[in-house]
């Protein structure tokens, strides 16, 4: 059983920064990825970023690269999402999730992820 626990959400003003963390426990695999998705009220859950094991390759949603950066700490089994230049449209619940044996064509597909965290709220005010 894999558990994913997010932290680091909060409220910031436009242009501010936040760093989200997602710590994993349980489960073992040689090929997987952990991703961030976000969901705003009334909208579908959208892909934000992902990082693969073991090679550390990163993927970003359209228009997010450059403001958002994903990284990992293998020893802590934690991934991070550094979010800079936050805008009101970034307001959402942010979830981390895991996918096994990811490939580039499916890593952005939320239906391929089998474990999800409980989410953390990010609110950006103007």
| φ/ψ of residue 55, rounded to 5 | -85, -10
User: pLDDT tens for residues 1-54?
Assistant: 899 999 999 999 999 999 999 999 887 778 899 999 999 999 999 999 999 988
User: pLDDT tens for residues 59-105?
Assistant: 999 878 789 999 999 899 999 999 999 999 999 999 999 999 898 88
Q: Which are the contacts of 97, defined by CB distance < 8 A and separation ≥ 6? A: 4, 34, 35, 36, 37, 110, 113, 114, 115, 116, 117
Angstrom distance (rounded) from CA 38 to CA 30: 26
pLDDT, position 126: 92
Q: Is the pLDDT of residue 122 over 90?
A: yes
pLDDT, position 8: 97
Dihedral angle over CA of 34, 4, 23, 20, nearest 10: 70
pLDDT, position 92: 98
């Amino acid at each position: 059983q894999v558990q994913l626990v997010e932290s680091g959400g909060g409220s910031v003003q436009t242009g501010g920064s936040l760093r989200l963390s997602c710590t994993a426990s349980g489960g073992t695999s040689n090929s997987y990825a952990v991703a961030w998705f976000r969901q705003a009220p009334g909208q579908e859950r959208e892909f934000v970023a992902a990082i693969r094991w073991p090679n550390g390759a990163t993927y970003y949603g359209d228009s997010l690269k450059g403001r958002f950066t994903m990284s990992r700490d293998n020893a802590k089994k934690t991934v991070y999402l550094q979010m800079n230049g936050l805008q009101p449209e970034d307001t959402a619940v942010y979830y981390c999730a895991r996918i096994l044996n990811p490939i580039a064509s499916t890593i952005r597909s939320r239906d391929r992820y089998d474990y999800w965290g409980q989410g953390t709220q990010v609110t950006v005010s103007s």
